[in-house]
Homo-oligomer: A and B are copies of this chain.
Amino acid sequence: MGDLTPEPGTPEPGDQPGDHSVDHSGDQPERPPSRRERARAATIEEIKQTALGLMREHGTTDFRFSDIARLMGMTAPALYRYFADRDELLTALIVDAYDDLGRAVADARDQVPLDDPGGRFTAVAHSYRRWAREEPERFALILGLPVPGYHAPEEGPTTEAARRAMAQLKSLFYEASQAGVLRPPMLSDDGTIAGLLAEHHAGKMESPIDGPPVPPETFQAMLHCWASMHGFTSLDAYGHLDWMPDVLRDAVFESSIRMVAKVAGLPEPRPRDG
């Protein structure tokens, strides 16, 4: 992740006083943040949290600047000191959501030992679904149709964030592949996929999935896993399976996931306590 920030705290010559640009870099500056800098960061965080609260309240990916301001006890124009416009706030929320989902998935995965890739995938799938069910609006924000009126910055931070998040799933398969514990997936390929992926790894195709390459059949298996768990998850998160009782949904998801893992060549998950 690129540490390319010019020098925190050293404003560019062209910076106007009320400039909208926000420093989202997470690396610590040499000088401790000033009182004002901390206040600013806290306000930015509060704006984002308030926006998320509104999204959750209304069950959409939409929000009104005026509502955010009202809930924060401010007037709407004050928010423009922190975000240039709605799009900039949305971009920040999207990046956060990708990072948060990626972290949730990575945490769940890493609580299962490396030598149990079946269990690691099951953990990933469950955390993916749990995250989406808890935060359907943020899930829609990153993996649904773009929000009305939103125009993503070109080649921007959202793409990078997506790359990072998806890398968490890939690394699972990469490690399993490296460890040699993957059986050949049951998925068919007449050679098309392998051939195209060869080009991909030769750099002709720009994959948003970070990290070292995996064998074609592993890549195919990974996509199969992602698509399956994503399908159930998004139907579930958006309420299209609400006619099933929770226990039934859980059971169907569990059985589907285990089957998908088996098809993908992942070994049976080792029984775990908990």
- What is A's interface to B at a CB cutoff of 8 Å? 58-62, 136-137, 140, 143-149, 162, 186-190, 192-193, 196-197, 200, 205-208, 220, 223-224, 226-235, 238, 240, 243-245, 247-248, 251-252, 255-256, 258-260, 262-263
State the CA gap A185–B137 with chains docked (Å). Answer: 34
Partner of A62, one of B58, B149, B234, B259: B149
Which of these, B228, B238, B251, contacts A144 with CB under 8 Å?
B238
Number of copies: 2
The list of the 3 closest CB pairs from A to B, nearest first, reads A231-B231, A62-B148, A227-B232
Cβ contact of A206, chosen from B192, B235, B243, B255, cutoff 8 A: B243
Selected contact of A60 from candidates B149, B208, B230, CB within 8 Å: B149
Contact A143 B235 (CB under 8 A): yes
Chain B residue nearest to A253 in the complex (CB): B227
Q: Are B189 and A255 in contact (CB under 8 A)?
A: yes
**Once the chains bind, are A192 and B251 in contact (CB under 8 Å)?**
yes
Q: Is the CB of B149 within 8 A of A145?
A: no
Residues of chain B within 8 A (CB-CB) of A208 are: 243
Q: Is the CB of B230 within 8 A of A188?
A: no
Q: How far is the CB of A246 from chain B (nearest CB, A)?
A: 10
Q: Which of A145, A205, A233 has the most CB of B within 10 A?
A: A145
A229 to chain B: closest residue by CB: B231
Pick from B189, B240, B256, B263: contact of A143, CB below 8 A.
B240
- Taking a contact as CB atoms closer than 8 A, the residue among B145, B220, B232 that contacts A252 in the complex is B220
Closest chain B CB from A122 CB (angstroms): 13
Across-interface contacts of A259 in B (CB, < 8 A): 186-188, 224, 263
A206-B243, A240-B143, A259-B263 as given contacts; A232 in contact with B235, CB under 8 Å: no
Contact with A197, one of B149, B206, B248 (Cβ below 8 angstroms):
B248
Residues of B within 8 A of A263 (CB): 259, 263
A-B contact pairs, 26 of them (CB 8 A): A60-B146, A60-B149, A62-B149, A137-B145, A143-B234, A143-B235, A143-B238, A143-B240, A144-B145, A186-B259, A187-B255, A189-B251, A192-B247, A193-B248, A193-B255, A196-B244, A196-B251, A197-B248, A206-B243, A208-B243, A226-B235, A227-B228, A227-B235, A228-B228, A234-B234, A259-B263
Closest residue on chain B to residue A193 by CB atoms: B251
Query: Could you tell me the distance in whole angstroms from the C-beta of A170 to the nearest C-beta in chain B?
Result: 13
A15 to B60 alpha-carbon distance, docked (Å): 34
Of the candidates B147, B186, B192, B207, which one forms a contact with A243 in the assembled complex, judged by CB atoms under 8 Å apart?
B207
Residues of B within 8 A of A243 (CB): 205-208
